Amino acid sequence: MTDAADGVFPGVCPLDCPDTCGLLLHKENGRIVKVTGDPNHPVTKGAICNKVRNMTERIYHPERLLHPLKRVGPKGAGQFERITWEEALAEITERFRELITRYGSESILPYSFYGNMGVLSVDGMDRRFFNALGASKLEQTICNSAGSVGWMYTMGFYGGVSPEDTEHADLIIVWGGNLVSTNMHQVVMAEKARKKGAKVVVIDVHRNRTAQWADWFIPLYPGTDTALALGMMNVLFAQGLTDKPFMERYTVGHELLEEHVRDFTPERVARITGVPAEDIVRLAEMYGRAQAAYIHVGNGLQHHDNGGMNVRAITCLPAVTGHWQRRGGGATKSNSGYAKLNSAALERPDLRANPQARHINMNRIGEALLDQEHPVKGLFVYCSNPLVVAPDTERVTRGFEREDLFTVVHDLFLTDTAKYADIVLPAASSFESTDLFTSYWHHYIQLQEPVIERVGESKSNYELFSLLGQMMGLDDEAFAESEESMIRGALNLSSNPYLNGVTLEALQEHRHVKLDMSPQARLLEKLPTPSGKIELYSEALERAGLPGLPSYMPLQEGYDGERRPAKDDLYPLMFISSPNHNFLNSTFANVGKHQQLEKEPLLQIHPEDAVARGISDGDQVTVWNERGVYKLRAQVADRMLPGTVISQGLWWEKEGQRQRANALTPDRLADMGKGAVFFSTAVNVKRQ
């Protein structure tokens, strides 16, 4: 298609966003001049966000990397000279060979996430390369893994309510998610439900855009969601608003749970969460009396020390009330389980000679790079920007600064991370490549084919890793496989009945193909949990060393309503750095249009906390703790409970500005899934 004449071509949004919108790419004189939504997409229906409407600003950005670079200055200084691809690849293969001989293959570590959600790009040829190399394995737990594991202990299958069904709900609870910014088409669905009389409740630590749109906003203290869910269950059991026949048939442990939640009276839960007791009762009654209540479980509440348990506790609510039985009722954390692909065919773990290779957790990349005993000697970063997105920036920086570390970064831009690379490689955008896309929210599989020529000398991940695999002499057949053949392999998974009928041919003809959702109706009859039922009590969790019943565990760092900071506490405020509206993690943070929309980093602070520190609206402030500092402008606003401060968005560093939220965040791991705990961060704030 790249050679095709100008025109309007179908596309897929490649960003890490649940909506995975169908796009139309308008091409003139060989360039994409406009990106619009594809009105034929059955779920996203032609509407796209402002970020991607302005995508051409990113693809044709004057600072886009056009050719490989080699570092000539100190690490981090951003001084590079142009080299050829031949030189770059020769240096990488030579250095990797040398490292493997001297230190073993596990001295090499890939570091990647989902900067491009294309399956071939991030779960395909790249994986083959690091498998065949025998590199260390990266635990990719930066995003949703605490919550996923919490959900899985309870439900056993990583899928919930279908988006299209949510318009049939009569109560929608958005719990720790900022849908207006992060899942806009779910808002459209919720609006349909609302037109039919549904109420929308938002439970969050921050009156975000979604809370402003809701019928009822319930603010609470960070990390206290489990307590709130237990308090709701206390009321549901006490008032007979549970569904006993449903619990008998589809769950295990309801008697134990009923006993367990007796202690979580509305009064006690009010003290912990900051939500008034009468609101807890009202919420539980609304939930218990609704015909079909839908809970959207967001990512925010699981970026905590107790994040797994928060999701698990919330996931018990539709089970005790039987909301799962009614169309639109139930909950969704993610729907990625329905779209499970053949990862063995894609990633070829069989190419690995050392299946027991060590694991390194991406949330602890700083610590891993500073480890002297088993040092990482070669690091390959792609589809991620750890200097901005990983917790504890100072430690990450010290790791990346190591002179003896050979670092390669493949990206579209000279990101904060790329500035530390020895070799920088230019990446093609998804519109320049063939790839397969699933959604972790809706049920359509989509295909992208190249619409424009590669910009500059850029290469896709598929192309880069297939070249590297061949140059390192790893496995001829695996590294020569065509994109089409890999897509066929990915879709061929007999153990996933939802993939029935999804083929490359159907995708080439229709661009988006719906999963066969018929097995969903039988899901509850035999869930893939140990008991086959929804596990209100989980023996497996107990064996893993955590309470078998959903249990409130206060944050390791920070406060709840019962444990307020002492007067002389050094860090008495909780710092929440959730995503903003116009960036996608740190993507777009370097694009003028998107920067203008966000203006600058802002710290939202409650008037009480501001007055106590002599801070006025618009003042420059410093936020700090023992890990680092973040300098930004204060916005005094009554949008959270006192004691919580909010800064949305992940900004790139500006010369000497100290504007990285993650300078403050801890690299501890959550209770489950080795997840990130970005929001369990205690800080203090002062005027500059």
Ligand X SMILES: Nc1nc2c(c(=O)[nH]1)N[C@H]1C(S)=C(S)[C@@H](COP(=O)(O)OP(=O)(O)OC[C@H]3O[C@@H](n4cnc5c(=O)[nH]c(N)nc54)[C@H](O)[C@@H]3O)O[C@H]1N2
Size of the site for ligand X (CB under 6 A): 59
Q: Which of Mo ion, ligand X, ligand SF4, none binds 662 (CB below 5-8 Å, type-dependent)?
A: ligand X
Near ligand SF4 by CB under 6 A: residue from 43, 48, 396, 677: 48
One-letter identity of residue 366: G
Query: What is the residue whose two structure tokens read 């040829």?
Result: 125
3-class state of residue 158 by DSSP = coil
Structure tokens at 618: 């618009």
Q: Which stretch, 239-247, 333-341, 385-393, 439-447, contacts ligand X (CB under 6 A)?
A: 385-393
- Using Cβ positions, the residue closest to Mo ion within the complex turns out to be 143
Positions 153 through 192 that interact with ligand SF4 (CB under 6 A): 184
Closest listed residue to residue 506, CA positions, set 591, 552, 445, 584:
445
Q: Which stretch, 45-53, 91-99, 227-235, 394-402, contacts ligand SF4 (CB under 6 A)?
A: 45-53
Burial of 84 (0-12, 13-18, 19+ CB in 10 A): exposed
How many CB atoms lie under 10 A from the CB of residue 51?
Answer: 23
Positions 168 through 227 that interact with ligand X (CB under 6 A): 175-178, 181-182, 203-206, 208, 222-223, 225
- Answer yes or no whether residue 625 interacts with ligand SF4 by CB under 6 A: no
CA of 606: how far to CAs of 178, 611, 612, in Å?
20, 9, 10
Positions 556 through 615 that interact with ligand X (CB under 6 A): 576-579, 581, 583-587
Per the CB < 8 A criterion, the answer to whether 147 and 310 are in contact is yes
Positions 481 through 500 that interact with Mo ion (CB under 5 A): none
Positions 143 through 202 that interact with Mo ion (CB under 5 A): 143
CA angle 11, 17, 21 (to 5 degrees): 30
Q: Which of Mo ion, ligand SF4, ligand X, none binds 19 (CB below 5-8 Å, type-dependent)?
A: ligand SF4
CB nearer to Mo ion: give 280 or 584.
584
**What's the half-sphere exposure (Cβ side, CA atoms, 13 Å) at 587?**
23
Near ligand X by CB under 6 A: residue from 108, 230, 311, 661: 661
Which residues, other chains included, contact 382 with Cβ-Cβ below 8 Å and sequence gap of 6+? 110, 111, 112, 115, 126, 409, 410, 411, 427, 461
CB nearer to Mo ion: give 440 or 479.
440
How many CB atoms lie under 10 A from the CB of residue 508?
Answer: 13
What number of residues does the chain have?
Answer: 688
CA of 193: how far to CAs of 17, 166, 174, 292, 329, in Å?
22, 7, 14, 11, 12
- Answer yes or no whether residue 52 interacts with ligand SF4 by CB under 6 A: yes
Where is 35: in which H helix or E strand?
Answer: strand 31-37
CB nearer to ligand SF4: give 49 or 436.
49
- Using Cβ positions, the residue closest to ligand X within the complex turns out to be 300
Near ligand X by CB under 6 A: residue from 158, 250, 382, 441: 382
Near ligand X by CB under 6 A: residue from 88, 379, 412, 424: 412
Task: Render 304-329 in DSSP notation, one character per residue.
Answer: STTHHHHHHHHHTHHHHHTGGGSTT-
CB nearer to Mo ion: give 21 or 143.
143
CB nearer to ligand X: give 159 or 253.
159
- Answer yes or no whether residue 555 interacts with ligand X by CB under 6 A: no
What is the spatial distance between Cα 385 and Cα 387, in angstroms, rounded to a whole number?
A: 6
Q: Which of ligand SF4, Mo ion, ligand X, none binds 52 (CB below 5-8 Å, type-dependent)?
A: ligand SF4
Instruction: State the Rg of the chain over Cα.
Output: 25
Smallest gap from residue 555 Cβ to ligand X (A): 9
Which residues, other chains included, contact 532 with Cβ-Cβ below 8 Å and sequence gap of 6+? 526
Near ligand X by CB under 6 A: residue from 12, 13, 17, 280: 17
CB nearer to ligand X: give 174 or 198.
174
CB nearer to ligand SF4: give 427 or 670.
427
What is the spatial distance between Cα 576 and Cα 578, in angstroms, rounded to a whole number?
A: 6
Positions 102 through 141 that interact with ligand X (CB under 6 A): 113-116, 121
Per the CB < 8 A criterion, the answer to whether 74 and 46 are in contact is no
Near ligand SF4 by CB under 6 A: residue from 9, 10, 11, 13: 13
Per the CB < 8 A criterion, the answer to whether 490 and 347 are in contact is no
- Answer yes or no whether residue 142 interacts with ligand X by CB under 6 A: yes
Query: What is the residue whose two structure tokens read 């009105």?
Result: 39
- Answer yes or no whether residue 653 interacts with ligand SF4 by CB under 6 A: no
What is the spatial distance between Cα 260 and Cα 98, in angstroms, rounded to a whole number?
A: 58
3-class state of residue 671 by DSSP = coil
Near ligand SF4 by CB under 6 A: residue from 9, 10, 11, 15: 15
- Answer yes or no whether residue 676 interacts with Mo ion by CB under 5 A: no
Please give the residue ranges that form the binding site for ligand X (CB under 6 A). 16-17, 113-116, 121, 142-144, 175-178, 181-182, 203-206, 208, 222-223, 225, 298-301, 304, 382-385, 388-389, 410-413, 415, 427, 430, 461, 576-579, 581, 583-587, 650, 661-662, 665, 678-679
Which residues contact ligand SF4 by CB under 6 A?
Answer: 13, 15, 17, 19-21, 48-49, 51-52, 184, 584
Binding positions for Mo ion, rule: CB under 5 A: 143
